[in-house]
Structure 1
């Protein structure tokens, strides 16, 4: 079953020192994302590498709320068999593009999430980020991406497989489904909510890990037809999600207090976070 794939950002055209491209390597409530340099040239390029050849099923990209690209082009790449993996020497196949809304209707408050279903094999993903939408808040003509998530299988392509097997990402109807998602290739399974980009953005790493472990235990209980245990685990997951969401908000408040050097407030918030974490009953 397709699952969340680990990757590493290995190339970017430019970056704002306060919002470096390394921000895209991990997801958490504290993620601030990547932003291009001020008054940069377009398109900007982001390059991602996987630990091995993978089969991509879904790409998710969360845009900045006002530093918004007009278009994102997506590519899958790989090197020849036997060659050392190299992003700059890889051959890329264009998968298509995604168009982003100017976000004026939300007064540049909401972040647009693009999710697209693909079916492609490779070792690298390249994203070309085109020029920004113009608005009064984006004074330096930058673009920004908060987070990137990739769903797929860590499996090599079968012999003779085409680098792209599914429908193109964009073109005929880049806004299909109302949220810019391309049509799902036939036979694709839904992605687990635990692998969705929003999951890790809403919970700290420790809470996310605990929730995933409880889900695994609940699935085992269901398979064993131990429904009492399954219900207890489900209740524990629900409690942990509620507490985890509150802890994530408190962590953001604590971070803001530290940045403003209000250490008394930061200490109080930390104590509340510790109290919530220790009070959670896991079973």
Structure 2
């Protein structure tokens, strides 16, 4: 099975002092990559650890400094092909790799994998890079972030040529550059070890153990990506002389690696003391090692995921290129030096004043004033939210935690300190009624003007539904029931109650049957209201409808009725379902009111 072949860059035509060619020797999240200096030709010569049958070559390009193409040449280094040194070797071209033209303000890097023709026996690999894509100048820089060679080692003896293999070779995903460049190297080694144990477990038919190893490998890879980001940040902070942030990142990485490697669940999976029966049991849940990456006071970890509020220092020219982690950009320009903040405040020095004798009363007054000032400061500190502070066990200092909100920090001091209205009684909203009366009695001109506005205009559908109530009671009263303001609904119920108890000239001209039917339509809507004061008043009007309006008060007989029995039945068909629904409401005051209304209506002779 092909694997990753280590190599060393032994020659480069040119290199930037900040991005030397030796950066390509090791791949990882914190790798800087190589950049050229001057005009073409640009050549890189790689010496492989051993003579290798190369199957695949991977190139990770820069996001802007991209060469148009890269030509790949190899030299076997065998005795039959000449000297096994870079100078005396003979190179043969095996193909070209073309790279895409960079887009303006591109934020992604291109990873190209080139399968070499087999057999390709090589000890040295030479990369010839062309100039950048037009319209860039030919003398502009080109760069490579990483190079990866995948293949199989062969013996360095004269032998017959290797026959081509028709079957496509299988590659480990953990040897791919997409995994290597974004996962921390120490974590990547643990993942590869788990992958080897998983293959062995499958061969031994320990499938539950293999399942555990697969889950642990995925959890480790996720943790390795985060640690890789921290390594990149540590390197960037050190380059900008922000040594305090670099030290904290170093301690955080060390604590995370120590916690992951010493995790008892992970140690049990390695089975260093022999097979463990617990690994063959069913896995209750997926593995998760993210708790080792969280800030820990005991381990001395620090929650520093954002730059310090200190103004940024202008970066050096060679550090203005953004790096990428896990396929996303981590802008180096946003990194700011983070001096360690503490809670100590600088107090200007004051000269000692001569002590003068003061009366006892003045001293007590000063003490009271000082006590009030301290209480006000304490109240402000407790009322206004601040950034949470995590102590560092290493040096006893205090560090501010990340504030993830993008907007400005809010405090309770910005709000008006006033009392909020509350219900004084359980069944009535007395406070709101008192406020309304005060507004009516001593309201300003602006308030009276706003109160005189129309509450709600009925649409066509509502007009059709309320055609009979509008004909009986008039449009002004009906629109109160369709208003969105609960005060208007309460006023409409009060006016409807007045119409039922002492009908006006308009409603006396219509029959009592139509009046009862119109009132039932409006009350059906009011009983569905969510505001309890409206709902409670609607129940009272329902009682008035059946106890005062339906019976004929002018006759002494209880059996006489102003509304016919059929119309009473229609009113019950509209109102009784709403009352029964309210009887099942979980709120005690709602279902108690509904039950009392149902019992009162049922006691009426006309309903019985």
TM-score under structure 2 length normalisation: 0.40
Distance of 2:24 and 2:90 partners within structure 1: 23
Of 207, 215, 229 in structure 1, the residue corresponding to residue 195 of structure 2 is: 215
Q: Secondary structure at the match of 1:217?
A: helix
Residues matched between the structures, number: 259
Superposition deviation, residue 32 in structure 1: 0.9
Per-residue deviation, residues 18-55 of structure 1 (Å, max 9, x unmatched): 11111111101111111111x32x22111111233210
1:244 is aligned to 224
Distance of 1:98 and 1:81 partners within structure 2: 29
Superposition deviation, residue 148 in structure 1: 0.5
Contact persistence 2:234–2:246 (CA under 8 A): yes
Distance of 1:262 and 1:21 partners within structure 2: 26
Superposition deviation, residue 251 in structure 1: 1.8
Superposition deviation, residue 3 in structure 1: 0.7
Distance of 1:134 and 1:9 partners within structure 2: 28
Distance of 1:192 and 1:80 partners within structure 2: 28
Larger Rg: 2
Contact persistence 1:121–1:156 (CA under 8 A): no
Contact persistence 1:36–1:144 (CA under 8 A): yes
Of 223, 238, 257 in structure 2, the residue corresponding to residue 258 of structure 1 is: 238
Gaps of 5+ in 1: 167-184
Q: Is the aligned partner of 1:153 residue 2:152?
A: yes
**What's the Cα RMSD here?**
2.4
2:398 is aligned to none
1:5 is aligned to 5
Q: Secondary structure at the match of 2:91?
A: strand
Superposition deviation, residue 140 in structure 1: 6.0
Distance of 1:32 and 1:232 partners within structure 2: 35
Q: Is the aligned partner of 1:59 residue 2:57?
A: yes
Per-residue deviation, residues 247-268 of structure 1 (Å, max 9, x unmatched): 1112222223333333443344
Superposition deviation, residue 135 in structure 1: 5.7
Q: Secondary structure at the match of 1:191?
A: coil
1:30 is aligned to 30
- Flag the structure with more relative contact order, 1 or 2, with Cα contacts below 8 A and sequence separation at least 6: 1
Per-residue deviation, residues 173-229 of structure 1 (Å, max 9, x unmatched): xxxxxxxxxxxx842223110111122211222111111111111111111111222
TM-score under structure 1 length normalisation: 0.83
Q: Secondary structure at the match of 1:29?
A: coil
Q: Is the aligned partner of 1:48 residue 2:28?
A: no
Superposition deviation, residue 2 in structure 1: 0.8
Q: Detail structure 1 runs of 4+ shifted over 4 Å in the superposition.
A: none
More helix by share: 2
Distance of 1:3 and 1:212 partners within structure 2: 12
Distance of 1:139 and 1:90 partners within structure 2: 29
Distance of 2:29 and 2:243 partners within structure 1: 21
More strand by share: 1
